[in-house]
Amino acid sequence: MFTEPSFEELLKRPNESFKILYINFKSEWLAYAKRFSVRDDVVIDVYQDAFLCFYENLLSGKIKTLNSSLKTYIFSIAKYKIYEHLRETSKLRLVKAEMTSKIGTKNLKLTDEPLTEREKLVKSSLKKLGKQCQQVLEMFYLRGLTLDDIKILENYQNTNTVKSQKSRCLRKLRSLVNRENE
């Protein structure tokens, strides 16, 4: 039987772990999705979106544990997205009445909000920062590592050096954003 990876594994090596999940669950999802009258490309799109949504929730720390299997959770998001699609294409009016997921919609933690214009600017500027800066910022904001953790992992002299490095990176990021914004 296929063993689902832990959250820790998914965060440690997302590309490999999610790919395995994607391949393992796909045929079952395709069989399951046959009950909905939606195009094949929509079935695949919502399946991919469900993985991305789950990943975002993992990264942002919105979900720490699950009461169900990963498959049930991902399928519930995908199913919800199919209902959303059907509602948008006016094939379904009463989404709530049709939603019979084992997991309540609230527990899916669906936000999926697009980036604001400002966030898009920050994103494009962030890509222009040096690798070292990107790494420090990712460690701090995404992985939630302390300055002390970063000092050890990245072999900095002391915590103050990490602190100054992080501040320098943010200052540089701000100036890049402002320049783009002019």
Partner 1 sequence: MKMNKEELVYKYFQKTIDSEELVEFERLLLEDYAFKKQVELERQTKEAIISIKKDELKHVLRQAEKETSGKKRLPIFWAASIVIGLGFLTLFWLNGGDIDNKELYTAYFEVYPNIIAPPVRGSDSISEIQKDFMPYERRDFKSASTIFEQRFEDTNAPYYLFYQGVSELELGHTNKAISILEKHKAYRDRFESYSNWYLALAYLKMDDLEKSKILLSNIIAQQTYNHSKAKELLQQLE
Q: Which residues bind partner 1 (CB under 8 A)?
A: 1-3, 12-20, 22-23, 26-28, 30-31, 44, 48, 51-52, 55-56, 59-61, 115-116, 118-119, 122-123, 126-127, 137-138, 140-142, 144, 146-147, 170, 173-174, 177
Q: Which two tokens stand for residue 59?
A: 């990264």
Q: Which two tokens stand for residue 3?
A: 């063993």
Decide whether 22 or 107 has the Cβ nearer to partner 1: 22
Q: How far is the CB of 56 from partner 1 (least distance, A)?
A: 6
Q: How far is the CB of 147 from partner 1 (least distance, A)?
A: 8
Decide whether 86 or 173 has the Cβ nearer to partner 1: 173
Decide whether 48 or 72 has the Cβ nearer to partner 1: 48
Distance CA 92, CA 79 (A): 13
Q: Which two tokens stand for residue 82?
A: 């199919």
Q: Which two tokens stand for residue 159?
A: 């915590």
Decide whether 90 or 116 has the Cβ nearer to partner 1: 116
Picking from 131, 133, 155, 136, the residue whose alpha carbon sits closest to that of residue 146 is 136
φ/ψ region of 6 (left if φ > 0, alpha if ψ in -120 to 50, else beta) reads: beta
Q: How far is the CB of 1 from partner 1 (least distance, A)?
A: 6
What one-character-per-residue DSSP string does 4-45 give? PPPHHHHHHSHHHHHHHHHHHHHHHHHHHHTTS---HHHHHH
Decide whether 19 or 102 has the Cβ nearer to partner 1: 19
